[in-house]
Structure 1
Amino acid sequence: MSTEPAAGPHEGSSAKQGPGRPEEPERSEPAEQPQAQQAWDARRDLNAHAPRSMSFDGTNHGVTAQQIIGDVHQHYSFGGYRASHASGEIPQEALERLAEGFVLEGTEFDALVERLRREHVLVLTGDPHTGRRTTALMLLRAVGAVPVQSVDRKAKPEDLVPGERCGHVLFDLEPTRAQPLREAQILSVRDRLRAKHSYMVITTGHSPYIEDTVRLALWKPPPARAVLAVLLNQRVDAVTAERLLGLPAVTSLLARNQQLREVVPYADILVRADSAEIEQYAQRILEQQVREWFEESENTFSLREKAFLIALAAFNNGPYALTAELSDKLFERLRKTGDPDHGERIPVFGTHIGKRLQVARARLEADDVETEWGKVRQLNAAFNDDRTAPVLLTEVWTGHPAARPALTGWLDELSTDGRPFVRTRAAAAVAVLALTDLPSAMALVIERWADSRNPRQQLAAVSALTFAHRIKAPNVPRIIDGWSTDSETPKRCWVAVRAHGLIGPERPVETLASLRALARAQYDLPEADELIRTELPDSVALLLLSDAGDTALRELLRTFTDHPSTRALALHGFLAACSRTDDNPCPPLLARYARTTSALGGIALLLRAALGDRETNRRAEEALHGWIRAADQDPQTEEVLATLLPALVTEPREGARLEHLLDTVPGLDGRPKPAAATRLRALVRPLIPA
């Protein structure tokens, strides 16, 4: 049985050091090492917890770097009214230009106009980038409150000295604990506005520092499609506008709930009819949004929220509570990077889930998740656009290198976590970094994990390389092939053998060639490395049970008699595949080849050889016993065995051995011999000479 390397399997070995590369201390390694994990369980976790962009069925179907992280693109200046912080009159032509593209469909604009007429002052609140500034100006224009004066947002509403028959707008008021927005302030300014027949609109975000008695006006924007339709109809005829709205790139973009500031400039791009620009626009605005998040000062967008974004990128579509928990661990590391002497504790409360996800352009979804204890209902957090996760990780890694020490330390910690989901997602995050910057990801993370004494970190290295290959990171097979022949670094060699089993289905011939070469090298050593020797068959078994199983079986048979090491590798790998069970009644190897009767000859040859080999005889008999007991419960298994067992008899001695084996099949838990054994024996008996 193959296992994950035990604690400190190669204490006497040392990893190769690059020129001038200092040895780094082992990080995040618990005093008591975790239990070993088999290759099959590692593959299960890899597939069960992979991000959706890395889900896999055994063959890479052309996922490219552009699909994962996109290209580097130009910046866009998004549309909308941008207010300055100083006061002054807003030009009338600016108001008229905004009115041309202002959309009322699906909004409460008319009701807000009537309310402004009655109350003379509105506190307009809503989500960021929903057009609150433009709406404020249009409300004042609708009630005839022109010209419009922009008020410095640092000014207090009660200090306003209104003009005669005009409008006033205060953009982006930010109430604080020290200076909350109170009802008395609104009542004071309302009286003065009424006296001068003037009006005022104050825009603000969702804030806990607005007194409950302040009557807010909630703004919800029109549908993005309606806005785009109006803008297109102003530029082209109705038929062309409808055709442009129906383009796949357009419908895909609108389905992601884009902000209005991103929809407005898209109209001009559609009119230019540059197909490449139309297709790439969604990726470009996504990249710009990610850059904005990390370019914002910590006063505007806190370091804790930036850490949450990074964690959400790693655990996208994972449990919100887990993401928030682990994001605070990253926040602590990032804070120490910027200020090592910072002693302030992380606040336990004060984070609003809704506001946090709104800023992250993410959502909450309740979902049934498969765990070690069965399915459980969890509240998962996910970006509205799944492409955000890899784009964000790439931006942090390449655009903000000062964050690398904190990020790699955090990933180290995740790689030894007791939860398979956490370890798998840490490896997937590293794979994205490898796609972007393979040399740095290898040197700073993957090589250290491969050289670690902690088996969980070694498995994380395997997973990272496997995920990196899935998303087309360069040279992964070359790295694995190189490590598998490096006798000076047995830890990396073990990682390579395990990785061969996971990416091997894409290149079964090359993978088996590497495994054979390693088996031959181990055979020639005075003392073989036990962990590598026992891992080799499991990688062969993974290949036999994969979609490339037919090719793998042919390769094993082709080289079966080349050398004692190739014979042993084929037999032990075959028996490892024979011993596998899953939730289906028919054993996986038999089910795999039930549809390919031509492969049964190869199975019979290997099973016959295993039964006749002193080293493998017991395991082969145990495998056959298991199949016969399965046949007692499953007609398909019995049907396959009815074809296979006669092929095991080529001489009287083999027939007698098989007859004895069928006579002595033990039942499970002390039960009688399976009835299927008697039926199968009747098929074998005529083949044995009297």
Structure 2
Amino acid sequence: MSGEQAQRTDEAPGEAPGAGGVRAGEAPAGAQDAPAAAEQTHADAQGEEAAEDDRPAHAWDSRRDLLRHSPGIILGSSARLGGSLVAGDQHGVSGGQVTGDVVLGGSKYEYHLGSGTPEETSGEILAAEVDSLASYFVRPSLGSHPEGGATAGEDCFTTALAELRRNRVLVLSGASSTGRRTAALMLLRAAGATAYRALDPVLPPGRIAPELTGSCGYLLNGLTTSPERPLREHHVRAASEKLRSADGYLVLVTGPRPVLLDGLPSVSWRMPPAVALLRAHLQREDLGGRPVDELLALDVVQDVLQHQRPVAELTRFAQRVAAHARGTVPLTGLADFGNAAVEQQVTQWFDDPDATLHDKAFLIALAAFDEAPYPLTAELSDILYRHLLRTEMPDVSPCIPVFGSSSAKRVEFARAVLYQETEESDWGPVQQTKVQFRDPLTAFVLLREVWTGHPSSRPALVAWLRRLANDSRAVVRTRAAAAAAVLAAADLPSAMGLLIQPWACARRFRTRLAAASALALAHRLDAPHVPRILQAWCTADDHRLRWTAVRTYALAGDAFARDSLDAVLDAVAALDARGGPARAWPEEPDELAQSAASLLLAQAQSADSDGDSLLSQLVPLLKEPVWRGFVLRTFIHACGPTDDVLGGGRPLLLDLYAQLTPVPGTPGALQRQSMAALWRAVLNDPWSTASALEVMRNWVRRADKDPGAEAALAELLPALSVTGEDRKRLAYLLQHLRCDEGKRHPAVADRLHTRLKSVSTTSR
């Protein structure tokens, strides 16, 4: 196949291969204007560069990229696109007053006045601010949560306060829309704190305890607990010990599903009934002499209160109701409040004759790149504008003013906000100016509306997303996949036929990765039939579909881990039945192992890692010739990733071994035994010995500056020394280990060697 023919296999649906092919929504090549031709030349050049550097990343790295670059509302919540409800973090800032948590770009921020430097890890919260919050704070009433749950039928504030007083440390979980920050401050106040300090939310769990030096109430709002950075028992115990000696208290505020290991308890905070919160806010407002009960009885107010709304949104609504009571806002100004207003606003944007096609292109791009850097969103919206203009007026040359509307005007038109946020990159943390819709539901509603309500835009949108899926930047490819996932949740057949399946059949790995990411995110959005699609593709004749399915399992298979492993095993069996990998995909055995390794690591990082695990399921497969090579490859791949994005942390499997309970007869002890059995298998197999020894060398090198890793290895290595040959192999490795480019023998190797000899002598 020639390079030109291969290039055409990746074109959007509707483009026929061959010299006469015409892209959907574009003018024929002979009629292309100069800017369009220049853009196509640039795209082709970028495509050639991409083709030269189009190598699939390790499955675990792809998973990390997906988690890093996907919209926070998809990763942190379950969204229902067909209605007006989106469960998850929402925010609202109005009138210069901030109540509850402010959610920007999927992260939670507290703003304090003062002259702190970027290195400061805590700041004072004025007691007057806490007292002001107390004046309208509402405690949940008994039995106020008919939906049930851990706090149904009880006062969760009382439960949380008792836990805080007993242990000095409290993990308070809940969505940011519930007013959890205010609740945390009220708990500290009720516990007896008279001074308050806010801790940096990006502090690693192991850095929290050293910050607790004073007799005050500490608040860590927005603690990010993830499979890569869970909160463990020793973190909480260390903080509790410091606080008892200093007579202080600490509330750790996390999301609704915190990753807590070692059985750590948390108290789930649920906001009080909306009517109670609205009443409390109205009692502090100037109502022009009108009674609160009269305002609460208004039909439009009752309509808003029918659904539980975020605390910040109720605060804004209270201000609007007060303005109506004073006569400055008409009754219709109350009626259009709520999520219905988002759908109405989206409709108005597309129906507005004064809104240019350029404006609408920016809105669509912002919907795909909500919470992303503004310059990137603006850049890609211009590309979408060209595609849309060729659909609407194919004979007109696209013209974009270099210095058109200011960013402030565009953001205001989109009812969005600009904010600064530090985000991780491949080169370390960088400061970015990001843009986000004020209402997080807007992005979902807008993408659904443009796809299902304006089908004439589909050719341009498909061509645009296809280009994004081939971009060299991971964030762009991930956002193209996220947009396709939203479209799949709204209209699965069209999204599959026009976007995801053509991507899955593409020649380039990065395009297929976009399909895998789209399916993974679509499954998070409860799009139908994703597991069925993956199961069919995993054993398909087309190796490109098989690759896409296998990579999707690596990205999202932990959501249905055992079914995913079964599907991967079916693919291994099908591979063996075909007599080995096809010439078109010689790396298939390795890709299957990477996928299974990602499933194993994702489950190991979950809060249920001390239960039944995939590790234990892999050990019996070693006895079967058809599975043995697959299991060995899987374990080698699982040993590599670390708990640091840049690769400088503790190996994840070694960290798991350190955290598992060694008590005989427990699930943790079984997992430890399973890990030791897999290690012995890879060390004693001729095919994998060299790779396994190199992995073990890396583990020992990382333990040189990590006492916790050294302690885990001191327990693991004796379990690997079953025979005399085992002991000789490990002893030789430790005696001849070098680090720092071969210049130094690490002291940790000598200590581990001494430990290994002492255990071996005792066992004999």
Q: Helix, strand or coil for the counterpart of 2:722?
A: coil
Higher mean alpha-carbon deviation, 391-400 vs 497-506, is at 497-506
Deviations 1:364-418 (A, max 9, x none): 2122233233333322221111110110000000000000000010111111122
Structure 1 CA distance, aligned partners of 2:337 and 2:620? 52
Indicate whether 1:38 and 2:94 are aligned. no
Go from structure 1 to structure 2 and tell me whether the alpha carbon gap of 1:621 and 1:548 turns closer, same or farther (over 3 Å shift): closer
Deviations 1:48-94 (A, max 9, x none): 111121125xxxx75444578769xxxxxxxxxxxxxxxxxxxxxxx
Q: Helix, strand or coil for the counterpart of 2:401?
A: coil
Go from structure 1 to structure 2 and tell me whether the alpha carbon gap of 1:250 and 1:39 turns closer, same or farther (over 3 Å shift): closer
Go from structure 1 to structure 2 and tell me whether the alpha carbon gap of 1:616 and 1:302 turns closer, same or farther (over 3 Å shift): same
Q: Helix, strand or coil for the counterpart of 1:301?
A: coil
Structure 2 CA distance, aligned partners of 1:638 and 1:656? 20
| Map of 2:562 onto structure 1 | 509
Structure 1 CA distance, aligned partners of 2:501 and 2:309? 40
Structure 2 residue identity aligned to 1:311: A
Structure 2 CA distance, aligned partners of 1:449 and 1:435? 17
Indicate whether 1:237 and 2:294 are aligned. yes
Higher mean alpha-carbon deviation, 368-377 vs 599-608, is at 368-377
Aligned 8 A contact 2:54 2:508 in 1: no
| Map of 2:39 onto structure 1 | none
Q: Helix, strand or coil for the counterpart of 1:668?
A: coil
Structure 1 CA distance, aligned partners of 2:578 and 2:388? 47
Q: Helix, strand or coil for the counterpart of 2:650?
A: coil
Indicate whether 1:587 and 2:651 are aligned. yes
Residue 601 of structure 1, CA deviation? 0.8
In structure 2, the gaps of 5 or more residues are: 24-42, 88-280, 663-668
Structure 2 residue identity aligned to 1:31: E
Indicate whether 1:575 and 2:592 are aligned. no
Aligned 8 A contact 1:364 1:381 in 2: yes
* Paired residues for 1:89-100 under 5 Å: none
Aligned 8 A contact 2:79 2:85 in 1: no
In the alignment, which of 344, 355, 380 is matched to residue 288 of structure 1? Answer: 344
Aligned 8 A contact 1:369 1:377 in 2: yes
Go from structure 1 to structure 2 and tell me whether the alpha carbon gap of 1:682 and 1:355 turns closer, same or farther (over 3 Å shift): closer
| Map of 2:691 onto structure 1 | 619
In the alignment, which of 464, 474, 487 is matched to residue 420 of structure 1? Answer: 474
Go from structure 1 to structure 2 and tell me whether the alpha carbon gap of 1:365 and 1:62 turns closer, same or farther (over 3 Å shift): closer
In the alignment, which of 55, 63, 66 is matched to residue 75 of structure 2? Answer: 55
Structure 1 CA distance, aligned partners of 2:714 and 2:434? 49
Go from structure 1 to structure 2 and tell me whether the alpha carbon gap of 1:625 and 1:481 turns closer, same or farther (over 3 Å shift): same
Q: Helix, strand or coil for the counterpart of 1:507?
A: helix
* Paired residues for 1:48-447 under 5 Å: 48-56=68-76, 62-65=78-81, 233=290, 237=294, 249=309, 252-253=312-313, 264-265=330-331, 282-297=338-353, 300-343=354-397, 345-447=399-501
Structure 2 CA distance, aligned partners of 1:676 and 1:548? 26
| Map of 2:622 onto structure 1 | 560
Go from structure 1 to structure 2 and tell me whether the alpha carbon gap of 1:360 and 1:255 turns closer, same or farther (over 3 Å shift): farther
Residue 356 of structure 1, CA deviation? 2.2
Go from structure 1 to structure 2 and tell me whether the alpha carbon gap of 1:355 and 1:564 turns closer, same or farther (over 3 Å shift): same
Structure 2 CA distance, aligned partners of 1:581 and 1:252? 38
Deviations 1:278-334 (A, max 9, x none): xx962211111101111222xx11111011110111111222222111111111111
Structure 2 residue identity aligned to 1:249: R
Structure 1 CA distance, aligned partners of 2:520 and 2:466? 18
Under a length normalisation based on structure 2, what TM-score does the superposition of the two structures give? 0.61
| Map of 1:539 onto structure 2 | 595
Sequence identity (%): 38
Aligned 8 A contact 1:70 1:283 in 2: no
Structure 2 CA distance, aligned partners of 1:445 and 1:41? 24
Structure 2 CA distance, aligned partners of 1:557 and 1:444? 42
Aligned 8 A contact 2:469 2:476 in 1: yes
Go from structure 1 to structure 2 and tell me whether the alpha carbon gap of 1:239 and 1:412 turns closer, same or farther (over 3 Å shift): closer
Structure 1 residue identity aligned to 2:640: S
| Map of 2:745 onto structure 1 | 673
Deviations 1:495-531 (A, max 9, x none): 1111111111111111111111111221232341323
Structure 1 residue identity aligned to 2:617: E
Structure 1 residue identity aligned to 2:294: D
Deviations 1:109-168 (A, max 9, x none): xxxxxxxxxxxxxxxxxxxxxxxxxxxxxxxxxxxxxxxxxxxxxxxxxxxxxxxxxxxx
Structure 1 CA distance, aligned partners of 2:513 and 2:673? 36
Deviations 1:326-350 (A, max 9, x none): 1111111111101110125222223
Structure 2 residue identity aligned to 1:437: D
Aligned 8 A contact 1:469 1:476 in 2: yes
Q: Which of structures 1 and 2 has the bigger CA Rg?
A: 1
| Map of 1:208 onto structure 2 | none
Q: Helix, strand or coil for the counterpart of 1:559?
A: helix
Residue 585 of structure 1, CA deviation? 4.1
In the alignment, which of 433, 442, 467 is matched to residue 521 of structure 2? Answer: 467
Structure 2 residue identity aligned to 1:286: V
Structure 2 CA distance, aligned partners of 1:240 and 1:69? 24
Structure 1 CA distance, aligned partners of 2:471 and 2:448? 23
In the alignment, which of 489, 500, 509 is matched to residue 553 of structure 2? Answer: 500
Residue 11 of structure 1, CA deviation? 7.5
Deviations 1:201-226 (A, max 9, x none): xxxxxxxxxxxxxxxxxxxxxxx989
| Map of 1:272 onto structure 2 | none
Structure 2 CA distance, aligned partners of 1:552 and 1:492? 25
Go from structure 1 to structure 2 and tell me whether the alpha carbon gap of 1:555 and 1:264 turns closer, same or farther (over 3 Å shift): farther
Structure 1 CA distance, aligned partners of 2:638 and 2:310? 49
Structure 1 CA distance, aligned partners of 2:674 and 2:728? 21
Higher mean alpha-carbon deviation, 236-245 vs 372-381, is at 236-245
Residue 434 of structure 1, CA deviation? 0.4
Structure 2 CA distance, aligned partners of 1:673 and 1:302? 67
In the alignment, which of 466, 470, 477 is matched to residue 531 of structure 2? Answer: 477
Structure 1 CA distance, aligned partners of 2:508 and 2:289? 59
Go from structure 1 to structure 2 and tell me whether the alpha carbon gap of 1:384 and 1:666 turns closer, same or farther (over 3 Å shift): same
Go from structure 1 to structure 2 and tell me whether the alpha carbon gap of 1:256 and 1:341 turns closer, same or farther (over 3 Å shift): farther
Residue 256 of structure 1, CA deviation? 6.2
Residue 468 of structure 1, CA deviation? 0.7
Aligned 8 A contact 1:581 1:587 in 2: yes
Moved over 6 A (4+): 20-29, 67-71, 241-247, 256-263, 266-269
Structure 1 residue identity aligned to 2:66: L
Indicate whether 1:601 and 2:673 are aligned. yes
Structure 2 residue identity aligned to 1:42: S
Under a length normalisation based on structure 1, what TM-score does the superposition of the two structures give? 0.67
| Map of 1:451 onto structure 2 | 505
Aligned 8 A contact 2:488 2:522 in 1: yes
Aligned 8 A contact 1:229 1:241 in 2: no
Structure 1 CA distance, aligned partners of 2:371 and 2:85? 18
Structure 1 CA distance, aligned partners of 2:356 and 2:579? 59
Structure 2 CA distance, aligned partners of 1:393 and 1:571? 44
Structure 2 residue identity aligned to 1:574: F
In structure 1, the gaps of 5 or more residues are: 1-6, 72-223, 270-279
Aligned 8 A contact 1:320 1:381 in 2: yes
